[in-house]
Amino acid sequence: MGWLKKYMPRYLKRAIPAWACLLGEVLVDLSLPTLMASIVNIGILGNDTPFMLRTGGWMLAIALSGSVLGTFRNLLSTRASQDLGTELRADLFRKTQTLSLATLRRFGTATTITRITNDVMQVQNLSFLITRIFMRAPMMIVGGLIMAFSLNASMALVLLGALPVLGVLLVFRIRRGLPLFQKVQAALDRVNGVMREYLAGVRVVKVFHRTDYEAERFDRANQDLTGIGVKAARSLASIQPLTLLVMNGSILLLLWLGGVRVGSGATKVGDVMAFVTYFQQILQAMTMLSMIFNAMARARTSLGRIGEVFATTEPMKDPEAPRSPERTGAVEMRGVSFTFEGQSAPTLSGLDFRVEPGQTAAVIGATGSGKSTLVQLLQRFSDATEGSVRIDGQDVRDFAQDELRRRVAIVPQQSTLFTGTLKENLMWGDEHATDEEIAHALAVAQAADFVARMPEGLSTRIGQGGVNLSGGQKQRLSIARALLRKPDVLLLDDSTSAVDMETERRLREALRTACAGTTVVVVAQRIHTVMEADTILVLDEGRLVAQGDHRALLRTCPIYRDFYRSQVGLDVAGQEVV
């Protein structure tokens, strides 16, 4: 929990004034029963009306001051807890942005969302209860005991007998509830995971008419959450009757004892009334403590889950002395191997190649051969397990990641657009891009025509994930966005798979002209996409089995020849067939 120290000064800045107001409230509450006792003992029994009016006026004034203090306390405690939640949520989000893809995969998307939202909310609720109730409870218990002993020490012994029993029940309740609340948060992760997966693949679900199946999956996860939640609530509720039994039994014993002492003349009626009020205040404070500790049990689980994220050490850090070599666009891999965490077999093994500045290199291979992984290593989404990945002659691990992202732009395999206008999405490539630069990028990416046909042009709003655009439109907009970055190295990871052949041909020609000085690495499945590249890398099961231009590979590489035969048609003698 050491990470919490950072948030304490700002939180205490508002919490301490709230506790000061709370102390004033407690003093008000403790003074009222004594004043009430004096009204009964002196005013009513002594038939002293002026005393009753005077003391009653004081009680009213004190109660009003307590209300004012309570209002200020609520304002301060609400602000303190809201500020804490806001700052914590923002820091947690920023922390997740520094994590690598491998680390985020280890946490999982659903649990990451739950930690930023629900877990932070639990901590925020606890911080509110601490400033509003938690400090009040011990003050009321201690103050109530002092006032009770000052009224009648022998009757106060009833309190001393009841409080340890209530304390034992409280501790038992906490110890029993903590592990259950941990299971509740894990079940909530599963519900969020099912819901997120359904929303991400809603089109596929509807196409295959699997709505009922997804509803059953959600119901199972939801029922699991409900069952664990009910079990946790029932476990805590089972202690409540015993708590009430001890509390009400103590009050009955107190009333009986007070009646006996009033009958014998040892105690006044007003003192008994005040004593019962103090006792009720103390028992109410114990109930508050019970509620607080329930919130603590739940928040402790959330604090641990948040702490896991903050405590995560990211191996992919910027170097202490980052390098910034001359920008040339050279791309190189030396003995590169890569193995995903938890896998025994490497995805890439012993890659050695170099792409000269301004050249176009194409990567082709069967599904699962490691093409996209190769691109991810060039962008340093992951670090090579062995060997060195180099941009501009420098290992990518020696760059500041911001600097590397400025030199290398990527159009990923799955195009991602964000809620907003077309122009806002394009300016992710360069937030200072002019209208002329945007128009040029759209023209190169063969997107200018369909953007012009849209009713609002570049001001057209895009739904989340680009749901109101076709796959080919999203891919061309993603290419335009990357071109606006003006990178030295452009990575195209199967980024024209949803574009028709004619549009792709025009796109290749436009890129050849617009990116004359840019090193381009293309991952593709279509032979027509790669055959014009300066050099073609053929991957097979994570190994580089051949490298060369199209003609050379047709003569020397059986795997490449098989790709060409399956898409174009080629006989054994190397001649095209119909």
Strands 519-523 and 360-365: parallel
Please name which of 424, 427, 421, 418 lies closest in space to residue 465, comparing C-alpha atoms. 418
What would the mean pLDDT of 475-502 be, rounded to a whole number? 91
| CB-based contact 362:495 (threshold 8 Å) | no
Tens digit of each residue's pLDDT (9 = 90 or more) over 95-148: 988 887 778 878 877 788 888 888 898 889 888 888 877 778 888 888 888 887
Question: Given pLDDT bands bounded at 50, 70 and 90, which one contains residue 573?
Answer: very low
Q: How far apart are CA 127 and CA 109, in angstroms?
A: 27
Here the tokens at position 121 are 């909310």
Q: How far apart are CA 135 and CA 24, in angstroms?
A: 12
Strands 535-540 and 360-365: parallel
The dihedral region occupied by 414, where left means phi > 0, alpha psi between -120 and 50, and beta the remainder, is: beta
Please name which of 251, 298, 253 lies closest in space to residue 118, comparing C-alpha atoms. 298
CA distances (Å), origin 98, targets 317, 382, 555? 9, 13, 47
Cβ atoms within 10 Å, residue 56? 14
Strands ordered across the beta sheet of 348-355: 348-355, 331-338, 386-391, 394-395
Is residue 575 predicted with pLDDT exceeding 60?
no
CA distances (Å), origin 280, targets 16, 337, 456? 27, 71, 68
- Residue ranges and CATH numbers for the domains of the chain are 7-311 (1.20.1560.10), 331-567 (3.40.50.300)
Tens digit of each residue's pLDDT (9 = 90 or more) over 191-244: 888 887 887 777 788 777 788 888 898 899 899 888 888 887 777 676 677 777
Question: Given pLDDT bands bounded at 50, 70 and 90, which one contains residue 574?
Answer: very low
Q: Of all residues in the chain, what percent carry a pLDDT higher than 70?
A: 96
Q: Average pLDDT, whole number, for the chain? A: 85
Please name which of 275, 329, 352 lies closest in space to residue 30, comparing C-alpha atoms. 275
Which of 82-91, 339-348, 503-512 is predicted least confidently? 339-348
Three-state secondary structure call for residue 499: coil
The CB-side HSE value for 290 (13 A sphere, CA atoms) comes to 22
| CB-based contact 361:535 (threshold 8 Å) | yes
Q: How far apart are CA 279 and CA 271, in angstroms?
A: 12
